[in-house]
């Protein structure tokens, strides 16, 4: 069933879970062009603040887009804006759950405001944010 502004309610949630692999990080680096040593060079990353390679923040944030475009609101959703706050690093092998929760409906403009979060397998918040989307009509 197509989810529209009329069928989505404040409090509705959806999520997507994925374990971050080394190949995910290298593929994202190749697609985005972000070859920061913190992500792709173990020797250099050991000298940094996290002492090991970490996943790109935007790779992790992209899981939010997955939830919005596939689950809630779902196919046909237009992503209008996103605020992000990166709280903790995501390490290779971490299992991340991206979750969205409808916090406001703006029916007259066909807009939804959603809290967007990503947590790791320990329940630790790694990304916190807020998105505005236009659900399909």
Give the pLDDT band of residue 29 (cuts 50, 70, 90). Answer: very high
Q: Which of 126, 14, 28, 124 is nearest to 69 (CA)?
A: 14
Mean pLDDT of 120-135: 98
Which domains are present in the chain? 13-134 (3.10.129.10)
55: enclosing H helix or E strand: none
What gap in Å lies between CA 111 and CA 58, rounded to an integer? 24
Q: Which of 42, 62, 66, 60 is nearest to 52 (CA)?
A: 42
Give the model confidence (pLDDT) of 4-13 as tens digits: 999 999 999 9
Give the model confidence (pLDDT) of 51-110 as tens digits: 999 999 999 999 999 999 999 999 999 999 999 999 999 999 999 999 999 999 999 999
Residue 2: the pLDDT is 74
Task: State the DSSP string of 72-115.
Answer: SS-TT-EEEEEEEEE-S--BTT-EEEEEEEEEEEEGGGTEEEEE
Residue 69: the pLDDT is 95
Distances from the Cα of 77 to the Cα of 68, 73, 108, angstroms: 7, 6, 16
pTM: 0.92
């Amino acid at each position: 069933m197509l989810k529209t502004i009329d069928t989505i309610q404040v409090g509705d949630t959806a999520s997507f879970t994925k374990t971050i692999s080394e190949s995910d990080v290298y593929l994202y680096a190749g697609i985005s062009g972000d070859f920061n040593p913190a992500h792709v060079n173990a020797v250099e990353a050991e000298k940094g603040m996290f002492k090991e390679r970490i996943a790109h923040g935007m790779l992790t944030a992209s899981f939010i887009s997955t939830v919005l475009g596939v689950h809630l609101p779902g196919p046909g959703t237009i992503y209008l804006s996103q605020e992000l706050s990166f709280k903790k690093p995501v390490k290779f092998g971490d299992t991340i759950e991206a979750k969205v929760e409808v916090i406001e409906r703006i029916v007259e403009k066909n807009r939804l405001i959603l809290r967007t979060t990503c947590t790791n397998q320990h329940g630790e918040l790694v990304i916190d944010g807020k998105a505005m989307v236009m659900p399909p009509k």
